[in-house]
Structure 1
Amino acid sequence: MEIQRHGLSVGIDRIEDKFFITFRIVGKLTHDDYAAITPMIAAALSSVEDPKANVLIDATEFEGWELRAAWDDFKLGLKHGSEFYKIAIVGDKRWQQWAAKIGSWFISGEAKHFDNLADALSWLNDEK
């Protein structure tokens, strides 16, 4: 029997004195994953004092969405897009680069794709 891991974890991390929200995505996300995680995302965003948060998305183990989950992701972006200043997406798949570009259309800040965590963290920490 093959075990298929999938899901999304949410955390709050810090680089020096700056806080940011982290998302780690594993496997292929389902509608049930979004039903479970959406309240956690809302809670994480409400715990950040500044209404504009930087976000790190670790998508190195992300394989995509089921159709309904992709719609859930789109709705989540519309609901919280104005609360994001910078979104760094870390992953090694070409479609993730496109997701960062398209994601920038739906947030008030900037989304950018990175091949490695160090570059993503440096960009998130940059004041520009």
Structure 2
Amino acid sequence: MSQQHGFSIGIGRINDEFVIHMKAFGTLTHEDYKTITPMLEGAFKQVEHPHIKVLADMTHLEGWELQAAWDDLKLGLKYGSHFEKVALIGAQPWQDALAKIAGWFVGAKVEQFSEYAQAKAWLFDKDKDKEKD
């Protein structure tokens, strides 16, 4: 029996701001990153705003293979300064730790949420930005 794993990615607008929507599922592999990296780079080029907001659904993410974790770190280091805010959706305790660690490597505010509505509200609410600073 094969196990499904990988990413889906899209660019959308919420109000007048661009957001990259990502969904990760299964246990990510190096091959997944070989596929997603050009997609992400293409998405970044399409967003003219210098600071990108990301809404990442990790509710079905089980983890990374070692090489994939390294690939993820390299992506964060290469593009981290492009991110303004990253909202991670997932309820696993290790995902909260991941949000804290990710904040060290990207130039963005990174928060973890258990629900989509909470993540979206934080991502686009200017008053909540001021509270977090």
Q: Which residue of 2 aligns with 1:91?
A: 90
- Percent identical among aligned pairs is 50
AA aligned opposite 1:75: K
Long gaps (5+) in structure 2:
none
Q: Give secondary structure in 1 for the equivalent of 2:122.
A: helix
AA aligned opposite 2:75: L
Q: Which residue of 1 aligns with 2:49?
A: 50
Deviations 1:102-126 (A, max 9, x none): 1011111200000000000001111
Q: Following the alignment from structure 1 to structure 2, what is the Cα–Cα distance between the partners of residues 3 and 92?
A: 25
Q: Which residue of 2 aligns with 1:69?
A: 68
Q: Which residue of 2 aligns with 1:112?
A: 111
What does 1:2-41 align with in structure 2 at a 5 Å threshold?
2-41=1-40
TM-score norm. by structure 2 comes to: 0.93
Q: Following the alignment from structure 1 to structure 2, what is the Cα–Cα distance between the partners of residues 78 and 109?
A: 12
Deviations 1:11-55 (A, max 9, x none): 112212221011100100000000011000000011100121000
Aligned-pair Cα RMSD in Å: 0.8
AA aligned opposite 1:62: L
Q: Give secondary structure in 2 for the equivalent of 1:11.
A: strand
Moved over 6 A (4+): none
Report the structure, 1 or 2, having the larger helix content: 2
Q: Following the alignment from structure 1 to structure 2, what is the Cα–Cα distance between the partners of residues 42 and 51?
A: 14
